[in-house]
Amino acid sequence: MITVKDYAKGLSMSDKTTIHEAEAAASEQAAELIRAWHAAQDEIAQAPVSVEGPHAELLTVEQRAQADREQKAQRAASEADHYRREYTAIQEERNNAVRTRTRSLHKALYAVENADLLARAALSTDDQLRSLMDLAATTGNTELAKSAFVVAEQRGLDGVLAAYFQADPEAHALYAELQAAPTEATMERRIADAATLFAAPTPADYAPAFTRMG
């Protein structure tokens, strides 16, 4: 009989990375990337004016200033593209780790090898399910307990779930982790956030503050 603990022993290293660990690691990496992007923008903004070309000396002060702003915007656009790609890679890696872990949690919690026991639980009334869980606890039959749990979870029988988790605290921890997993919509939204977090400045953003206010 396969228990949650037995299954966990066979997980690969990627599967053993909990959702919380994957989320925390990615959040830290993303925060570092955002800080680096802000630092890069400051560096670009503070860079000295450098307008070159065969007719650079003929430009007026305002023309040189506009050329400088355009150069900085172009440089910032290139940097923004780089940071967006880096950020997207971090989010995709996080999402893949979460999906892998979610599949593993689902298998550990809901996979029942004994189809007969699962069918017996599915055909049981709510009261019979409670009796099956009590019987599983008395006999130590983990497959019977899991079968009763799977059906009880679908029916929302909190009392049966509580009995199962009391007998198997590790299953309770895995269940709580699975319930806290981000949705697909949330994971996709993280990738879409790159466009906002790393939006490239325009030449106007490099104009003096009093000019922008005007």
Dig out the tokens for 126 from the structure. Answer: 């709510």
Render pLDDT for 165-203 as a digit per residue (tens, 0 to 9): 999 999 999 999 999 999 999 999 999 999 999 999 999
8 or 53, which is more confident: 53
Render pLDDT for 32-85 as a digit per residue (tens, 0 to 9): 999 999 999 999 988 876 656 655 566 576 777 777 888 889 999 999 999 999
Dihedral Cα 116, 121, 125, 130, nearest 10 deg: 140
Dig out the tokens for 60 from the structure. Answer: 């007026």
| Residue-level pLDDT at 55 | 59
Q: Are 37 and 83 in contact (CB under 8 A)?
A: yes
| Residue-level pLDDT at 2 | 28
pTM value is 0.79
Render pLDDT for 118-174 as a digit per residue (tens, 0 to 9): 999 999 999 999 999 999 999 999 999 999 999 999 999 999 999 999 999 999 999
By C-alpha distance, which of 15, 1, 204, 199 is closest to 100? 15
By C-alpha distance, which of 155, 147, 154 is closest to 116? 147
